[in-house]
Structure 1
Amino acid sequence: MARRWFPFPMDNRHSILQITLGPKLLDVRQPMQWHDSIPTKIRENLTMLRVIKIGGSILLRNNLAATVHQWLDAHPADETMVIIGGGKLIDAVRELDQQHTMSPQQTHWMCVDLLTATASFAAEIFGWPLVATEQEWNVAIEQSKTLPKPHGPAVPTVITPNVFYNRKNSKNKNILDMRVPNDWRTTTDTIAALLAHRIDADELVLLKSCPIVSKMSFTKLAEAGIVDEAFPEIATGLKTIRVEQLK
């Protein structure tokens, strides 16, 4: 069965979150920020394709796998693609850059390549499939077009960012890619938003280790360092976005 998309648009001012409350369907209009700790509920005749970004600092938790699996059980989706943050690996590059002032673009793509390591680590820890080649990426894209899955929600798939965002394809940028700065303003927050655009995801979730204050705009979140500087612009146009602390 071909997947069916949400029948309403989202702009950078307002979104309509459709929530099933018993037999009634309620439309809730609110500022385009995020739906803090509220799972996106999909009507039975609709499906959900989701992107999750798991912050790199979360990888240091002792109960990592159990915590993430518990969250997924509480927030099911038909198909989930996962981007993993760089954590301490990227912090090390940032420290080197502060000391030696390397080329911004060179440093950026070095960090994108390093995300292969944390993606591989997470796939091993969680027991999820890893998309690490262009061929695997093309297969994953084709599979995401056929939803819902016949046997319930699929196992999440970890996506290595450089299969869809890399030096090679950056030379043939589309309009969205041209808005992504190739420097420290872009982290896996923005890369996850870019992935959500690429697959036309119904929901983007950023899971963070820090507390998230309600009623903050994406611009304020960026100013507070909770999301990266590029995220507010690149996230514009996505259907549903949540930023929440993984507890």
Structure 2
Amino acid sequence: MVKLGGSLAESMRLSSILEIVGRARLPVVVVPGGGAFADAVRQAQADYKFSDADAHQMALLAMHQTGMMLAAMNPRLKAAETLPQLRRVISDGRIPVWLPMKLTKRDSQIPADWTTTSDGLAARLAERLGRSPVLLVKSCRIEPGMPVAALALEGVVDPTFAQIVDRARLSWKVLGTGDEPELMTFLDAGVRSANVRRMIPRDSNRRAAPARAIARRR
């Protein structure tokens, strides 16, 4: 399970990350963040004062928009909504990008508010797929060894993610700027070492996404 944070587009790392993911030799499901689409939901809620439950549904649609964008950017990626669809795409040798609306509609384990972002949804999907490992790819650097509760307190991951990985005993890791080689290893991406430097944007440290985008994007 690889969740691609919405802030990757702002840090100019999205294309290089997708190139790595598209070379994966191991089965993988991509969970999209909401990115700028989720930011628009937050702004609309601030302007028009609708409920968190309504905002949650709109943010799920924001993830759909990002997911469709990701699938359009790499020919090996394909959008999928249900567990059978995810498995079918993988069996065809492709990489499913999960669109979450259908599976989350009646899931009582998912709070319908901003305590759940794409981090928590990725953990919940991993739980439903038999406790798959979860990798969160973000635009911030994480101090090695930080416990998930501390990451939740700092806003790096959402509270739902912390609860699910603890409850389900999921294997998880957060990767940030400069961790592309580790992503390649995790996915068995099969990229020659000479290409590693080419895949890491030269300005990746200078074009870090805004703090609001790092912690709060679905």
- Cα distance in structure 1, aligned partners of 2:136 and 2:173: 6
Higher strand fraction (1 or 2) = 1
CA-CA distance at 1:62 after TM superposition: 3.9
Report the counterpart of residue 158 of structure 1 in structure 2: 97
Report the counterpart of residue 57 of structure 2 in structure 1: 109
Report the counterpart of residue 244 of structure 1 in structure 2: 175
Question: Relative to 1, partners in 2 of residues 1:72 and 1:132: Cα closer, same or farther, differing over 3 Å?
Answer: closer
CA-CA distance at 1:141 after TM superposition: 2.9
- Cα distance in structure 1, aligned partners of 2:64 and 2:77: 13
Question: Relative to 1, partners in 2 of residues 1:67 and 1:120: Cα closer, same or farther, differing over 3 Å?
Answer: same
Report how many residues are paired.
177
Higher CA-based Rg: 1
> Residue 140 of structure 1: which of 49, 65, 86 is its match?
86
Tell me which of the two structures has the higher relative contact order, counting C-alpha pairs closer than 8 angstroms and 6 or more residues apart: 2
- Cα distance in structure 1, aligned partners of 2:31 and 2:13: 19
1:138 is aligned with what amino acid? P
> Any stretches of 5+ residues in structure 2 without a counterpart?
179-218
2:2 pairs with 1:52: yes
Range that drifts further, 102-111 or 53-62: 53-62
Question: Relative to 1, partners in 2 of residues 1:221 and 1:77: Cα closer, same or farther, differing over 3 Å?
Answer: farther
> Residue 209 of structure 1: which of 139, 144, 151 is its match?
139
CA-CA distance at 1:66 after TM superposition: 2.5
CA-CA distance at 1:157 after TM superposition: 1.7
Question: Relative to 1, partners in 2 of residues 1:100 and 1:107: Cα closer, same or farther, differing over 3 Å?
Answer: same
- Cα distance in structure 1, aligned partners of 2:56 and 2:172: 25
Matched position secondary structure for 2:146: coil
**TM-score, length-normalised on structure 1?**
0.64
CA-CA distance at 1:71 after TM superposition: 6.3
- Asked if the contact 1:104/1:182 (under 8 Å) is kept, the reply is yes
Report the counterpart of residue 225 of structure 1 in structure 2: 155
1:24-39 to 2 correspondence within 5 Å? none
> Residue 31 of structure 2: which of 56, 75, 83 is its match?
83
Report the counterpart of residue 183 of structure 1 in structure 2: 113
- Asked if the contact 2:86/2:98 (under 8 Å) is kept, the reply is no
Higher helix fraction (1 or 2) = 2
> Residue 18 of structure 2: which of 55, 58, 68 is its match?
68
> Any stretches of 5+ residues in structure 1 without a counterpart?
1-50, 171-176
- Cα distance in structure 2, aligned partners of 1:87 and 1:143: 24
